[in-house]
Amino acid sequence: MRADRVFAYGAAAGLIGDLLLGDPRRGHPVAAFGRAAGAVERVLWRDHRGWGALHTAVCVGGAVGLGAVAENAVRPSRTASVALTAAATWAVVGGTSLVREARVIGRALEAGDVEAARDRLPHLCGRDPQALDADGIARAVVESVAENTSDAVVGALVWGAVAGVPGLLGFRAVNTLDAMVGHRSVTYRRFGWASARLDDLAGWPGARLTAVLAALAGDSPRGAVRAWREDAPKHPSPNAGPVEASFAGALGVRLGGTLSYAGRVEHRPVLNRQGRAVATYDVERAVRLSRRVGLLALGAGVAARAFAKGRTA
């Protein structure tokens, strides 16, 4: 079976598996990678960029190498190749868990139970929930749905289309390492530098594709493009900026502004200033947009891989 068809069937099956099963409560492969990366960190940690780069190379290289070995081992069997791609896709995407968490918070807000929404918010993002009212929580959820649509779904599918199973596993390894050591704390300012920069590079194509697809699938394509063009460059993240701005314009809402993380206040630029303030019902609108973007990303990845195969045939 051609490699483009293996990816098409396998990735589609993996997304269906994620839709039906979500993430397992125990024994998730990403959690296993996190434990392994933590063990490597305990051996290699030094307050130095070079040691952090070595940590990144060992962890990401190990994930990519494992994917390459597994993919080569099952190559003679079409069924096994599709099954491996499906399993890898299911393991690295997190669209269903993202949707579930967002909807739990959205339902709590709709019921007027702000305390329950605050209690649940840390499952989705790192904001200080006690500093937020109902509308602030809804805005945090919409922003998290937008960013994680790129990180947890589209980015993985992009790299799966480019490099198969090694691409899927490698992207998730990079993204997980960034969450573990890529933040600007005293401990990781130097050691996590390489992971953070690699995450920026790996996330670049997926973020731009997410922004494009959000514009196509949202209620206001023109508004999404305008917000992306005008406001994304102001955002401190090179990848979250285009995604959140495009979602804001597509949904017709304002995102960004003052945020609070672990007692630290950040003043982010307002995205899509022409839009209205986020309301509780926008959580469900963002979730539906995220789902549409994920499906379109699968179609785009399959088409791109088939085109590339046709060019080299």
Q: What is the pLDDT of residues 258-306, one digit of tens each?
A: 777 666 777 789 999 999 999 999 999 999 999 999 999 999 999 988 8
**Residue 116 predicted with pLDDT over 70:** yes
Query: What gap in Å lies between CA 105 and CA 109, rounded to an integer?
Result: 6
DSSP code string of 243-293 = HHHHHHHHHTB-EEEEEEETTEEEEEEEESTTSBPP-TTHHHHHHHHHHHH
Phi, psi of 59 (to 5 degrees): -70, -50
- What is residue 3's predicted lDDT score, i.e. its pLDDT? 79
Average pLDDT, integer, range 152-159:
97
Q: CA–CA separation, 256 vs 278, rounded Å?
A: 11
Q: Quick one: tokens of 268?
A: 């982010």
From residue 12, how far is each of 19, 68, 118, 157, 291 by CA, in Å? Answer: 11, 20, 35, 10, 14
Q: With cut-offs at 50, 70 and 90, classify the pLDDT of residue 148.
A: very high
Which pLDDT score, from 0 to 100, does residue 268 have? 85
pTM score = 0.94
What the block records as the tokens of 85 is 């791609």
In sequence order, the 6+-apart residues with CB closer than 8 A to the CB of 93 are: 14, 15, 18, 152, 153, 156, 157, 294
| Cα 44 from Cα 194, distance rounded (Å) | 14
CB contact at 8 A, 161 and 153:
no
Check: CB of residue 156 under 8 Å from CB of residue 89. yes
Residue 135 near residue 280 (C-beta atoms within 8 A): yes
Contact 136, 125 (CB under 8 A): no
Name 273's Cβ contacts closer than 8 Å, sequence gap at least 6.
231, 254
What local confidence, expressed as pLDDT, does residue 261 receive? 67
Structure tokens that stand for 156 in this block: 């993985």
Residue 111 three-state SS = coil
Q: What is the pLDDT of residue 2?
A: 75
Average pLDDT of the chain is: 94
Phi, psi angles (nearest 5°) of residue 243 = -65, -50
Q: Which of 284, 17, 67 is nearest to 172 (CA)?
A: 67
Q: Running DSSP on this structure, what letter comes out for residue 239?
A: T
